[in-house]
Structure 1
């Protein structure tokens, strides 16, 4: 009996997606509810589970093809599972052999019992670029799948030790190097998520009156507090005490005192919030995503750190949901983790402001008439000038600065 696999409901107002990765191949056995494909939507990757146990028969759409909700993407031969003895039904064996031949033609590999590795097109490209053997790389993605970060980390460590002469070099390594002076180009279709990011950022520039105000803050007090309590904090809460929780609490204070920074424009009305749902930009294999930590103003430092860590882990695994991304009244983006000294972040519509954090750098500053060396960070607050006046933006950023330089303010709500 053949069962069709259809595109599931993708979320509110989302009607289509792009086939980003096949997690199984024709001839592979699947269990009921086991993911067989990953679809890229405007915001997140959505896995499509198998409705029944059986063997993958055929795919009815191509990798990279746009599909609508309810469309048939694959067919499963129900009940044609691989026996516990390891023997396969004749039809399943035939489909597996056909799938293997197709994978060889495509130059890719898939996760199966033959020791091959499941890779998305982006990951496969990085593997080939660095001449790595994917079977020697430990995957940290869902179900052990390789991520781009896994491959880049392996490439960075490549050559750290003597080569193992007993292992054959990967095929990609034998590709002759480009001749000196030769120039190459590669044309790669943008993922649906990257297309959406591009459209939203351009729309923000076109529709909002963007302006950025800067300040710098002395990180001495926060660093001292973190160093004094990080061990007992981690022991009690099971999570490291980072800087993001301090900035989330500091921003919450500022947004309560300056409500316009936590509001947005809806037609000819301004919508104010008496809560803070904070979007936190985190890096995912397919681009930057901004899951929402809800009611962050009512959360403890530990709850904030746990929520952000969970989002970071799920972003890397590709398991964030549409609900995780929806809403948000204010955004924090930490470019400092990548070494940025200063930037002008773009707001995340329909929000009206975003706080940009940057790297901590020791610099000489004047304190009480003396020049001292302090760990300093530049803060950038980009905002929509249609709703937020310069005075309000500067005041909000100043409140954040003061809270970071004197963390006691966050405990006594000043």
Structure 2
């Protein structure tokens, strides 16, 4: 029997009860994933307005995202034992609560201390969601439909970006940054309570007596360190996550401040790039299953990221809007769309029964890329006086990854 993505060490992959059919579980997990992703990108989507409200430079958005993913990295390592003890849905509900509190703090108290604490809390909410949702889907999804179902669930991340870009800037323009953030807070709280009727069915496998030990939190990192293939994938994800979050974090600020787009138009282009990621996550996984091996598919996506990052650096105020739209959709399709292929390959390369632990360990590397990438992007852009320098810099490591992954694909075959 194949190991499904998200299966946790020591977990019996028992089928979910009849009330927990695949569609309902997918709907719940997709909704939670989309809302926490929207919460992470809510502040970047209103970057100039939020920076003005706090009296700081928009370049500090990178530091904000870095702090979010410090919290996410810690939470991802803690997720496996928490899911087994408290249940995957309860863990997801607590994640929504963490995001809500993390956004409410800077909304009600617009200051640097509130932004720092809020970013960490938002990250603590974001980190457990992917392992928890994978745990739920592994129990409710027939093996022959697992690839499609998991791919659809993974679209929740860019879908949250679409929502952030399409909803947050218009609310900022109409009612201000505080109302915009509190609207996202309200959505997270509503989703948290809406998921409660599913709790009894979906968390029936929890073990309240299961102890929480420090060793259980570090199991994912130890596994990645012992498996060469997992180390390669984790390193790749470190670079790819830098490209993904630099696109999402700074795009609105770059378009608005450097190219003269209105905040609403810039938010619309952010949504378009995220929509490219939604389509890409499903399309690339389908192609990797049928036409290309995963390493070759990831190599092609890395090359596309490098080309699109270089193209973003070359954009000018008079660049045709259609060309900008096409470039950013392609950027999103590659820089955001790689995750499904990556997670599926992590599951395939994991020892039997250890896919969930391997996922939590590799996600720590993925999140670490987000911790260091956007702040470096912001610092470089601040020194150079333009965000073009940051996007040009992103093109270099992604191009190197393309070459390395292509060679690894030859060895794997």
TM-score range, shorter chain: under 0.3
Task: Name the structure where helix makes up a greater proportion of residues.
Answer: 2
Task: Name the structure where strand makes up a greater proportion of residues.
Answer: 1
Question: TM-score, normalised to structure 1's length?
Answer: 0.23
Larger radius of gyration: 1
Question: TM-score, normalised to structure 2's length?
Answer: 0.23
